[in-house]
Amino acid sequence: MRLVQYDEQPLPYAEARVVLRRRIARALEGDFSSPAEPSPSPIPQNNASGSQNISGEDVFLYPCGMNPIWHAHRLILQAAEQSLTPPFPSFPYTCTLRVLEKFGPGCYLFGAGVDDDLSEVRRAAQEATSSGIPIFALFCEVFTNPLLRMPNLVELRKIADEFDFLMVVDDSFGNFVNVDVMEHADIVITEILSGMTNVMGGSRNDNTTGSFAIASKPLNKTSAGTKTSSAWNSTRGTLLIGSTSSIAIQKQLPIGSGINQRFTVYKTAHDESQNSDGKKRVINNVFYSKWVMREHYDACRRRPASSVVTPRYPSGFGGLFTILFSDKPAARAFYDNLGCGKGPTWGTNFTLACPYTILAHHPELDWAARYGVPINIVRISVGREDEETILGWVKHALAAAQKASERSS
């Protein structure tokens, strides 16, 4: 799909923030149009999956991705009567885990992120309630990083309702082009505002309507005075986002619909993992959200408002996948010989790869491996280069991985 560039004039700082917050609110409701008007416009009353009446007033802007997570955690702590311990039912992004561990009473970690953990989450909630110090919030990610697992949001929501705690969902990898998690969450965190790698930013999106209104009231009262002070105060940055956010949805298509090169690249790696032609198998597994815990993904996949209407931006499965290699020499050779850019971000219009465990968990490699995140993985964010180019990179790197693994045997 071709990128459409909107020709917009820079807006004054205050106006740009209003426009950006309104655009995020519309996107959360499934409206991905990008009108260039700075004047107020009505928000749709509902969307395809039933979330309703999300207002720009419920969207808070921050200068980088971790800011909304920190502020959500801090504001919930302030709203809670006691400092209580949140659970994290999946293997988390390392910085999120550190925020929960170090700035507050700590957290319960259920790092496998599979359905078997649900009973443990319920047990922890029951024990905390019985102790008189109940859990105040549950944090999870859609999808998990780097294994791209999909939490069972439907069941987690039931547990949250039963034990009266909030759900905070980070949908940065799933992205609201693909998923609608507001139906299940009290707070939705988004760490990506543009796929152009020209700005940083994040948003905290509060669900203040429907069945979660009562639970959200203390949080809203606490955060009411922070709308300006905790939001991004960089005039240049906000103006830049204000003018580029209209094309953010198009640029998020590498995170969105299943364009051919993404599936072909995934399939190339997956076929290598199934290799049976006598060569040593160098790939043990390939993690891609289309096949990892798919039933949970389908439960919150964004749907068109009508079965007869084709959505302008059809939901997909994201642009990330992670390869688990058979050994370290194979992983190292693949990474070193992969011709794309290297770096820890994702969702860009150019392909990026990173040795995720080494970057995120270097001081705790054994701990990460216990949760299925060993050192010999490489995470790839597929960009918008042509299919031939990306496949050429992958095949060349796989051949190098094959040779390195055989030499080390």
Residue 264's Cβ-count burial label (10 Å; 0-12, 13-18, 19+) is middle
- Average pLDDT over the chain, rounded to an integer: 75
| pLDDT tens-digit readout, 48-102 | 444 556 788 888 888 888 888 888 888 887 776 654 556 555 566 777 777 787 7
Residue 275 pLDDT > 70: no
Whether residue 259 is predicted with pLDDT greater than 50 in this model: the reply is: no
Taking the CA atoms of the chain, what radius of gyration do you get in angstroms? 21
Q: Which residues contact 123 (CB under 8 A, 6 or more apart)?
A: none
Residues 6 or more apart whose Cβ sits within 8 Å of residue 116: none
Return the residue matching tokens 């302008």: 312
User: What are the pLDDT digits (tens) for 137-186?
Assistant: 888 888 888 999 999 999 999 999 998 888 999 998 888 878 889 889 98
Choose which CATH entry (3.40.47.10, 3.30.2310.20, 3.40.640.10, 3.30.1950.10) describes domain 13-251.
3.40.640.10
The Cα–Cα gap between 242 and 11 comes to 7
List all residues 6 or more positions away from 133 whose beta carbon is below 8 Å from its beta carbon.
82, 84, 85
Sequence spans of domains, the chain: 13-251, 260-408
3-state secondary structure of 141: strand
Question: Domain 260-408 maps to which CATH number in 3.20.20.120, 3.90.1150.10, 3.30.70.920, 3.20.20.140?
Answer: 3.90.1150.10
Both structure tokens of 119: 């009973």
Strand partners, 56: none
